[in-house]
Protein backbone atom coordinates (compact mmCIF):
# COMPACT_ATOMS: atom_id res chain seq x y z
CA UNK A 1 0.00 0.00 0.00
CA UNK A 2 2.66 2.53 1.06
CA UNK A 3 4.74 1.50 -1.87
CA UNK A 4 1.89 1.92 -4.35
CA UNK A 5 1.04 5.40 -3.13
CA UNK A 6 4.60 6.64 -3.36
CA UNK A 7 5.19 5.00 -6.71
CA UNK A 8 2.23 6.88 -8.08
CA UNK A 9 3.41 10.22 -6.70
CA UNK A 10 7.02 9.84 -7.72
CA UNK A 11 6.95 8.02 -11.05
CA UNK A 12 9.65 10.24 -12.56
CA UNK A 13 12.13 9.76 -9.75
CA UNK A 14 11.73 6.04 -10.16
CA UNK A 15 12.67 6.28 -13.82
CA UNK A 16 15.58 8.69 -13.35
CA UNK A 17 17.22 6.95 -10.41
CA UNK A 18 15.73 3.56 -9.58
CA UNK A 19 18.52 2.80 -7.11
CA UNK A 20 17.86 5.80 -4.85
CA UNK A 21 14.14 5.48 -5.45
CA UNK A 22 14.20 1.91 -4.24
CA UNK A 23 16.08 2.90 -1.08
CA UNK A 24 13.58 5.70 -0.38
CA UNK A 25 10.75 3.18 -0.67
CA UNK A 26 12.60 0.81 1.65
CA UNK A 27 13.03 3.60 4.21
CA UNK A 28 9.35 4.54 3.95
CA UNK A 29 8.42 0.94 4.61
CA UNK A 30 10.90 0.75 7.50
CA UNK A 31 9.29 3.84 9.03
CA UNK A 32 5.86 2.25 8.64
CA UNK A 33 6.76 -0.98 10.35
CA UNK A 34 7.46 -1.30 14.02
CA UNK A 35 6.81 1.24 16.74
CA UNK A 36 8.98 4.34 16.92
CA UNK A 37 9.70 5.59 20.43
CA UNK A 38 12.78 7.63 19.54
CA UNK A 39 12.10 10.82 21.49
CA UNK A 40 13.73 13.16 18.97
CA UNK A 41 11.83 11.79 15.98
CA UNK A 42 8.34 12.33 14.65
CA UNK A 43 6.33 12.05 11.44
CA UNK A 44 6.31 15.51 9.84
CA UNK A 45 3.01 16.93 8.67
CA UNK A 46 2.17 15.88 5.12
CA UNK A 47 1.95 19.53 4.00
CA UNK A 48 5.44 20.07 5.42
CA UNK A 49 6.87 17.32 3.21
CA UNK A 50 5.04 18.78 0.23
CA UNK A 51 6.49 22.25 0.79
CA UNK A 52 9.99 20.80 0.96
CA UNK A 53 9.81 18.97 -2.34
CA UNK A 54 9.44 22.16 -4.41
CA UNK A 55 11.50 24.40 -6.73
CA UNK A 56 11.94 26.84 -3.85
CA UNK A 57 15.08 24.79 -3.38
CA UNK A 58 16.43 26.41 -6.57
CA UNK A 59 16.46 29.93 -5.17
CA UNK A 60 19.44 31.74 -3.73
CA UNK A 61 18.29 34.27 -1.14
CA UNK A 62 21.36 35.26 0.87
CA UNK A 63 20.44 38.04 3.23
CA UNK A 64 17.04 38.77 4.77
CA UNK A 65 13.63 39.77 3.36
CA UNK A 66 13.96 42.98 1.29
CA UNK A 67 17.72 43.00 1.92
CA UNK A 68 18.92 40.17 -0.31
CA UNK A 69 22.09 39.74 -2.28
CA UNK A 70 20.12 38.27 -5.21
CA UNK A 71 17.28 39.46 -7.40
CA UNK A 72 14.08 37.53 -7.85
CA UNK A 73 13.38 37.19 -4.14
CA UNK A 74 9.94 38.81 -4.14
CA UNK A 75 8.10 35.59 -3.33
CA UNK A 76 10.62 33.96 -1.04
CA UNK A 77 10.72 37.26 0.88
CA UNK A 78 7.03 36.94 1.63
CA UNK A 79 7.44 33.29 2.58
CA UNK A 80 10.20 34.09 5.06
CA UNK A 81 8.23 37.00 6.51
CA UNK A 82 5.22 34.74 7.02
CA UNK A 83 7.39 32.09 8.69
CA UNK A 84 8.81 34.70 11.09
CA UNK A 85 5.41 36.21 11.85
CA UNK A 86 3.90 32.82 12.61
CA UNK A 87 6.83 31.72 14.76
CA UNK A 88 6.59 34.96 16.76
CA UNK A 89 2.87 34.40 17.20
CA UNK A 90 3.35 30.76 18.23
CA UNK A 91 5.81 31.61 21.02
CA UNK A 92 4.69 35.19 21.72
CA UNK A 93 8.13 36.38 20.71
CA UNK A 94 9.41 39.78 19.58
CA UNK A 95 11.95 38.57 17.07
CA UNK A 96 12.98 35.35 15.40
CA UNK A 97 15.30 34.01 12.76
CA UNK A 98 14.07 31.04 10.73
CA UNK A 99 17.24 30.48 8.68
CA UNK A 100 19.35 28.11 10.85
CA UNK A 101 19.81 24.84 8.97
CA UNK A 102 19.59 22.82 12.19
CA UNK A 103 19.46 23.01 15.96
CA UNK A 104 23.25 22.84 16.12
CA UNK A 105 23.56 25.84 13.75
CA UNK A 106 21.06 27.82 15.81
CA UNK A 107 23.18 27.24 18.92
CA UNK A 108 26.37 28.11 17.07
CA UNK A 109 24.92 31.41 15.85
CA UNK A 110 23.94 32.39 19.40
CA UNK A 111 27.36 31.45 20.79
CA UNK A 112 29.14 33.44 18.10
CA UNK A 113 26.84 36.41 18.79
CA UNK A 114 27.81 36.74 22.44
CA UNK A 115 31.04 34.82 23.05
CA UNK A 116 34.69 35.07 22.12
CA UNK A 117 36.97 32.02 21.96
CA UNK A 118 38.04 31.07 25.47
CA UNK A 119 34.97 32.57 27.18
CA UNK A 120 33.32 30.48 29.87
CA UNK A 121 29.90 28.88 29.40
CA UNK A 122 27.89 27.08 32.07
CA UNK A 123 25.78 24.23 30.71
CA UNK A 124 24.20 20.95 31.77
CA UNK A 125 26.51 17.95 31.48
CA UNK A 126 25.86 15.43 28.73
CA UNK A 127 25.03 12.57 31.10
CA UNK A 128 22.43 14.68 32.88
CA UNK A 129 20.70 15.44 29.58
CA UNK A 130 22.69 18.22 27.92
CA UNK A 131 23.32 18.22 24.17
CA UNK A 132 26.64 17.81 22.34
CA UNK A 133 26.48 21.49 21.38
CA UNK A 134 26.39 22.40 25.07
CA UNK A 135 30.14 22.08 25.39
CA UNK A 136 31.01 18.48 24.65
CA UNK A 137 34.76 18.07 24.01
CA UNK A 138 34.00 16.47 20.62
CA UNK A 139 31.89 19.45 19.51
CA UNK A 140 33.02 22.93 18.41
CA UNK A 141 31.44 24.31 21.59
CA UNK A 142 33.75 22.26 23.80
CA UNK A 143 36.77 23.10 21.68
CA UNK A 144 36.29 26.87 21.42
CA UNK A 145 34.94 27.70 24.88
CA UNK A 146 35.87 27.04 28.45
CA UNK A 147 33.07 24.79 29.64
CA UNK A 148 31.73 24.38 33.16
CA UNK A 149 28.92 21.87 33.66
CA UNK A 150 26.11 21.75 36.17
CA UNK A 151 24.34 18.51 37.00
CA UNK A 152 21.13 17.17 38.41
CA UNK A 153 20.83 16.31 42.08
CA UNK A 154 22.00 12.81 42.95
CA UNK A 155 19.02 12.25 45.19
CA UNK A 156 16.02 13.23 43.06
CA UNK A 157 17.67 13.58 39.62
CA UNK A 158 16.15 17.03 39.17
CA UNK A 159 18.19 20.06 38.10
CA UNK A 160 20.11 21.41 41.07
CA UNK A 161 19.50 25.16 40.81
CA UNK A 162 21.62 25.88 43.90
CA UNK A 163 24.53 24.20 42.17
CA UNK A 164 23.95 26.35 39.06
CA UNK A 165 24.05 29.44 41.25
CA UNK A 166 27.21 28.33 43.09
CA UNK A 167 29.00 27.53 39.84
CA UNK A 168 27.78 30.76 38.25
CA UNK A 169 29.19 32.83 41.11
CA UNK A 170 32.44 30.86 41.21
CA UNK A 171 33.19 30.74 37.46
CA UNK A 172 31.42 33.88 36.18
CA UNK A 173 30.36 32.38 32.84
CA UNK A 174 29.45 34.79 30.08
CA UNK A 175 26.57 32.51 29.03
CA UNK A 176 24.38 30.03 30.90
CA UNK A 177 22.69 27.37 28.77
CA UNK A 178 19.60 25.38 29.73
CA UNK A 179 17.49 22.94 27.74
CA UNK A 180 18.28 19.30 27.09
CA UNK A 181 17.99 16.17 25.00
CA UNK A 182 17.28 13.72 27.80
CA UNK A 183 15.91 15.63 30.76
CA UNK A 184 12.23 14.69 31.07
CA UNK A 185 11.30 17.27 33.67
CA UNK A 186 10.27 20.91 33.70
CA UNK A 187 13.14 23.39 33.63
CA UNK A 188 12.52 26.56 35.62
CA UNK A 189 13.70 29.36 33.31
CA UNK A 190 12.90 32.06 35.83
CA UNK A 191 15.34 30.76 38.42
CA UNK A 192 18.11 30.45 35.84
CA UNK A 193 17.31 33.90 34.40
CA UNK A 194 17.64 35.38 37.88
CA UNK A 195 21.01 33.69 38.38
CA UNK A 196 22.18 34.96 34.99
CA UNK A 197 21.08 38.47 35.89
CA UNK A 198 22.91 38.31 39.20
CA UNK A 199 26.24 37.62 37.50
CA UNK A 200 25.45 39.61 34.34
CA UNK A 201 25.58 36.58 32.07
CA UNK A 202 23.51 35.87 29.00
CA UNK A 203 20.96 33.07 29.23
CA UNK A 204 20.17 30.77 26.32
CA UNK A 205 17.41 28.17 26.47
CA UNK A 206 17.64 25.35 23.93
CA UNK A 207 14.06 24.09 23.61
CA UNK A 208 14.82 21.64 20.76
CA UNK A 209 12.94 18.84 22.49
CA UNK A 210 10.20 20.75 24.26
CA UNK A 211 9.19 23.29 21.60
CA UNK A 212 5.97 21.51 20.53
CA UNK A 213 4.80 21.27 24.13
CA UNK A 214 5.76 24.90 24.78
CA UNK A 215 3.90 26.04 21.66
CA UNK A 216 0.81 24.26 22.98
CA UNK A 217 1.16 25.91 26.40
CA UNK A 218 1.86 22.57 28.12
CA UNK A 219 5.43 23.20 29.24
CA UNK A 220 6.68 26.47 30.78
CA UNK A 221 7.86 28.89 28.11
CA UNK A 222 11.36 30.39 28.43
CA UNK A 223 10.21 33.42 26.41
CA UNK A 224 10.47 36.54 28.60
CA UNK A 225 13.17 34.84 30.71
CA UNK A 226 15.89 33.74 28.31
CA UNK A 227 17.84 36.22 26.17
CA UNK A 228 18.03 33.64 23.40
CA UNK A 229 15.91 30.61 22.65
CA UNK A 230 16.94 28.04 20.09
CA UNK A 231 15.01 25.09 18.72
CA UNK A 232 14.85 22.41 16.13
CA UNK A 233 11.67 22.27 14.06
CA UNK A 234 11.53 18.53 13.36
CA UNK A 235 11.06 17.04 16.82
CA UNK A 236 7.87 17.73 18.80
CA UNK A 237 6.96 20.51 16.32
CA UNK A 238 6.44 18.09 13.39
CA UNK A 239 8.05 20.49 10.94
CA UNK A 240 10.93 20.03 8.49
CA UNK A 241 14.45 19.18 9.69
CA UNK A 242 15.82 22.56 10.71
CA UNK A 243 16.45 25.16 13.39
CA UNK A 244 15.22 28.55 14.60
CA UNK A 245 16.31 31.27 17.00
CA UNK A 246 13.99 33.45 19.07
CA UNK A 247 15.24 36.46 21.02
CA UNK A 248 14.46 39.87 22.35
CA UNK A 249 14.24 42.50 19.61
CA UNK A 250 17.50 44.08 20.90
CA UNK A 251 19.43 41.10 19.60
CA UNK A 252 17.98 41.16 16.07
CA UNK A 253 21.01 42.75 14.41
CA UNK A 254 23.67 40.60 16.02
CA UNK A 255 21.82 37.28 15.59
CA UNK A 256 20.95 38.01 11.96
CA UNK A 257 24.56 38.91 11.26
CA UNK A 258 25.88 35.71 12.82
CA UNK A 259 23.42 33.37 11.10
CA UNK A 260 24.24 34.98 7.74
CA UNK A 261 26.97 35.74 6.76
CA UNK A 262 28.50 34.59 10.08
CA UNK A 263 28.04 30.83 9.90
CA UNK A 264 25.75 30.05 6.96
CA UNK A 265 25.37 30.83 3.28
CA UNK A 266 22.07 30.86 1.43
CA UNK A 267 18.94 29.94 3.40
CA UNK A 268 17.03 26.78 2.44
CA UNK A 269 13.88 28.47 1.16
CA UNK A 270 12.02 25.20 0.59
CA UNK A 271 12.67 24.32 4.24
CA UNK A 272 11.68 27.81 5.42
CA UNK A 273 8.40 27.42 3.50
CA UNK A 274 7.90 24.07 5.24
CA UNK A 275 8.66 25.70 8.60
CA UNK A 276 5.97 28.31 7.86
CA UNK A 277 3.50 25.50 7.14
CA UNK A 278 4.41 23.71 10.38
CA UNK A 279 3.98 26.92 12.42
CA UNK A 280 0.54 27.49 10.88
CA UNK A 281 -0.52 23.97 11.82
CA UNK A 282 1.00 24.31 15.29
CA UNK A 283 -1.21 27.34 15.91
CA UNK A 284 -4.35 25.22 15.50
CA UNK A 285 -6.38 23.63 18.27
CA UNK A 286 -5.75 20.18 16.81
CA UNK A 287 -2.03 20.58 17.52
CA UNK A 288 -2.72 21.50 21.14
CA UNK A 289 -4.89 18.40 21.48
CA UNK A 290 -2.12 16.33 19.94
CA UNK A 291 0.44 17.66 22.43
CA UNK A 292 -1.94 16.96 25.30
CA UNK A 293 -2.08 13.36 24.19
CA UNK A 294 1.73 13.26 23.83
CA UNK A 295 1.97 14.19 27.52
CA UNK A 296 -0.75 11.77 28.64
CA UNK A 297 0.95 8.97 26.71
CA UNK A 298 4.36 9.76 28.23
CA UNK A 299 2.94 9.62 31.75
CA UNK A 300 1.26 6.27 31.03
CA UNK A 301 4.43 4.92 29.48
CA UNK A 302 6.45 5.90 32.57
CA UNK A 303 3.91 4.56 35.04
CA UNK A 304 3.44 1.23 33.25
CA UNK A 305 7.18 0.64 32.97
CA UNK A 306 7.55 1.50 36.63
CA UNK A 307 4.77 -0.95 37.51
CA UNK A 308 6.85 -3.54 35.68
CA UNK A 309 9.87 -2.94 37.89
CA UNK A 310 11.84 -0.68 35.55
CA UNK A 311 13.30 2.33 37.33
CA UNK A 312 12.37 5.66 35.76
CA UNK A 313 15.00 8.37 36.06
CA UNK A 314 13.61 11.20 38.25
CA UNK A 315 10.68 8.88 38.95
CA UNK A 316 8.49 10.22 36.14
CA UNK A 317 8.12 12.80 33.41
CA UNK A 318 6.69 16.26 32.74
CA UNK A 319 7.32 16.04 29.01
CA UNK A 320 7.16 13.76 25.99
CA UNK A 321 10.14 11.67 27.11
CA UNK A 322 10.88 8.96 29.63
CA UNK A 323 14.35 7.89 30.69
CA UNK A 324 14.68 4.31 31.98
CA UNK A 325 17.48 3.02 34.19
CA UNK A 326 17.96 -0.58 33.08
CA UNK A 327 20.30 -1.51 35.88
CA UNK A 328 17.01 -2.15 37.67
CA UNK A 329 16.51 -5.23 35.47
CA UNK A 330 20.14 -6.14 34.88
CA UNK A 331 20.58 -4.85 31.31
CA UNK A 332 22.64 -2.13 29.66
CA UNK A 333 21.13 0.45 27.36
CA UNK A 334 22.88 -1.09 24.39
CA UNK A 335 21.49 -4.55 25.16
CA UNK A 336 17.98 -3.19 25.64
CA UNK A 337 18.15 -1.15 22.42
CA UNK A 338 19.12 -4.29 20.49
CA UNK A 339 16.47 -6.51 22.09
CA UNK A 340 13.74 -3.96 21.40
CA UNK A 341 14.97 -3.36 17.87
CA UNK A 342 14.59 -7.07 17.17
CA UNK A 343 10.93 -7.05 18.19
CA UNK A 344 10.23 -3.87 16.20
CA UNK A 345 10.25 -1.28 18.99
CA UNK A 346 12.69 1.51 18.17
CA UNK A 347 14.36 3.36 21.04
CA UNK A 348 17.82 4.71 21.67
CA UNK A 349 20.27 3.83 24.37
CA UNK A 350 21.08 6.83 26.52
CA UNK A 351 23.37 7.72 29.36
CA UNK A 352 21.62 8.46 32.64
CA UNK A 353 22.77 10.85 35.37
CA UNK A 354 26.12 9.71 36.84
CA UNK A 355 26.13 6.74 34.47
CA UNK A 356 28.93 4.28 35.26
CA UNK A 357 28.87 3.11 31.62
CA UNK A 358 30.43 4.83 28.60
CA UNK A 359 27.92 6.43 26.20
CA UNK A 360 28.37 3.63 23.62
CA UNK A 361 27.00 1.14 26.18
CA UNK A 362 24.96 3.38 28.55
CA UNK A 363 22.75 2.27 31.42
CA UNK A 364 19.53 3.68 30.07
CA UNK A 365 17.16 3.99 27.18
CA UNK A 366 15.29 7.13 26.22
CA UNK A 367 11.69 6.77 25.09
CA UNK A 368 9.41 9.41 23.62
CA UNK A 369 5.76 9.57 22.64
CA UNK A 370 5.66 12.20 19.84
CA UNK A 371 5.81 9.70 16.96
CA UNK A 372 3.35 7.12 18.33
CA UNK A 373 0.93 9.90 19.22
CA UNK A 374 1.09 11.33 15.69
CA UNK A 375 0.27 7.84 14.57
CA UNK A 376 -2.87 7.79 16.71
CA UNK A 377 -1.85 5.84 19.81
CA UNK A 378 -3.88 6.74 22.88
CA UNK A 379 -3.76 5.50 26.48
CA UNK A 380 -4.60 1.85 25.78
CA UNK A 381 -2.09 1.40 22.97
CA UNK A 382 0.65 3.20 24.89
CA UNK A 383 0.07 1.00 27.91
CA UNK A 384 0.27 -2.05 25.69
CA UNK A 385 3.56 -0.85 24.20
CA UNK A 386 4.99 -0.32 27.69
CA UNK A 387 3.93 -3.82 28.73
CA UNK A 388 5.45 -5.26 25.56
CA UNK A 389 8.72 -3.46 26.30
CA UNK A 390 8.79 -4.96 29.78
CA UNK A 391 8.07 -8.47 28.48
CA UNK A 392 10.70 -8.18 25.75
CA UNK A 393 13.34 -7.02 28.21
CA UNK A 394 12.51 -9.33 31.10
CA UNK A 395 11.31 -12.50 29.37
CA UNK A 396 13.53 -13.21 26.36
CA UNK A 397 11.73 -16.49 25.57
CA UNK A 398 8.61 -14.48 24.69
CA UNK A 399 10.32 -12.65 21.84
CA UNK A 400 8.15 -14.13 19.08
CA UNK A 401 5.00 -13.28 21.02
CA UNK A 402 6.08 -9.64 21.46
CA UNK A 403 7.07 -9.41 17.82
CA UNK A 404 3.64 -10.57 16.68
CA UNK A 405 1.89 -8.15 19.05
CA UNK A 406 4.03 -5.25 17.80
CA UNK A 407 3.12 -6.17 14.24
CA UNK A 408 -0.58 -6.30 15.11
CA UNK A 409 -0.45 -2.91 16.77
CA UNK A 410 1.53 -1.36 13.90
CA UNK A 411 -0.93 -2.66 11.36
CA UNK A 412 -3.87 -1.31 13.33
CA UNK A 413 -2.30 2.20 13.17
CA UNK A 414 -0.71 2.46 9.73
CA UNK A 415 1.80 5.28 9.40
CA UNK A 416 0.97 5.91 5.75
CA UNK A 417 -2.48 7.14 6.80
CA UNK A 418 -0.74 10.34 7.90
CA UNK A 419 0.28 10.84 4.30
CA UNK A 420 -2.91 9.90 2.47
C1 LIG B 1 18.33 17.73 18.79
C2 LIG B 1 18.98 18.77 19.60
C3 LIG B 1 19.84 19.72 19.03
C4 LIG B 1 20.40 19.64 17.63
O5 LIG B 1 19.59 19.56 16.60
P6 LIG B 1 20.14 19.17 15.14
O7 LIG B 1 19.07 19.69 14.27
O8 LIG B 1 20.30 17.70 15.14
O9 LIG B 1 21.43 19.89 14.94
C10 LIG B 1 20.32 20.75 19.82
N11 LIG B 1 20.00 20.82 21.12
C12 LIG B 1 19.21 19.91 21.71
C13 LIG B 1 18.89 20.06 23.16
C14 LIG B 1 18.70 18.84 20.98
O15 LIG B 1 17.96 17.93 21.60
**Domains within the chain, CATH numbers bracketed:** 51-282 (3.40.640.10), 287-419 (3.90.1150.10)
Element (H, E) at 97: strand 95-97
Comparing CA positions, the residue from 213, 276, 260 lying closest to residue 67 is 260
Give the binding-site residues of ligand 1, using a 6 Å CB cut-off: 40, 102-104, 131, 133, 179-181, 206, 208-209, 232, 243
Catalytic residue among 59, 235, 366, 405: 235
Cα torsion through 145, 129, 239, 377, rounded to 10: 180
Task: In whole angstroms, give the CA distance from residue 196 to residue 174.
Answer: 9
Mutating to test ligand 1, I would choose from 124, 125, 126, 133 the residue with most ligand atoms within 8 A of its C-beta, which is: 133
pLDDT at position 1 is 62
Ligand 1 atom nearest the C-alpha of 207 is: 13
pLDDT at position 406 is 96
pLDDT at position 417 is 83
Cα torsion 98, 102, 107, 109: sign: negative
Model pLDDT for residues 279-331, shown as the tens digit of each residue: 999 999 999 999 999 999 999 999 999 999 999 999 999 999 999 999 999 99
Q: How far is the CA of 205 from the centre of ligand 1 (A)?
A: 12
Ligand 1 atom nearest the C-alpha of 104 is: 9
3-state secondary structure of 225: coil
Model pLDDT for residues 409-418, shown as the tens digit of each residue: 999 998 888 8
Q: How far is the CA of 208 from the centre of ligand 1 (A)?
A: 6
Is the pLDDT reported for residue 8 higher than 90? no
Task: In whole angstroms, give the CA distance from residue 52 to residue 55.
Answer: 9
Is the pLDDT reported for residue 337 higher than 80? yes
Burial class of residue 326, CB neighbours in 10 A (0-12, 13-18, 19+): buried
Q: Does the annotation mark 241 as catalytic?
A: yes
Model pLDDT for residues 183-214, shown as the tens digit of each residue: 999 999 999 999 999 999 999 999 999 999 99
Contact 161, 191 (CB under 8 A): yes
Model pLDDT for residues 100-115, shown as the tens digit of each residue: 999 999 999 999 999 9
3-state secondary structure of 143: helix
Model pLDDT for residues 145-186, shown as the tens digit of each residue: 999 999 999 999 999 999 999 999 999 999 999 999 999 999
pLDDT at position 96 is 98
Q: For strand 67-68 and strand 175-178, is the pairing parallel, antiparallel, or unpaired?
A: unpaired
Is the pLDDT reported for residue 372 higher than 90? yes
Amino acid sequence: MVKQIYEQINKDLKEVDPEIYDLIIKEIIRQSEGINLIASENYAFKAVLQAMGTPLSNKYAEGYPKRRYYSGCEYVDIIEEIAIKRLNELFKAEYSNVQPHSGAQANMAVYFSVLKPGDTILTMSLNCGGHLTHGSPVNFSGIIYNVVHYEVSRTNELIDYDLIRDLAIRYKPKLIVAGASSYPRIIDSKIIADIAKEIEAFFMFDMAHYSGLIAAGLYPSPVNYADFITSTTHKTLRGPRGGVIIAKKDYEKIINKWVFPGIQGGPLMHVIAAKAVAFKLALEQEFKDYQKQVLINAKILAQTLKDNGIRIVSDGTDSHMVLCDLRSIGLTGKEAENILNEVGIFVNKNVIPFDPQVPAIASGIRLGTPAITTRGFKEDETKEVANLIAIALKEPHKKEYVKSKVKELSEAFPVYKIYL
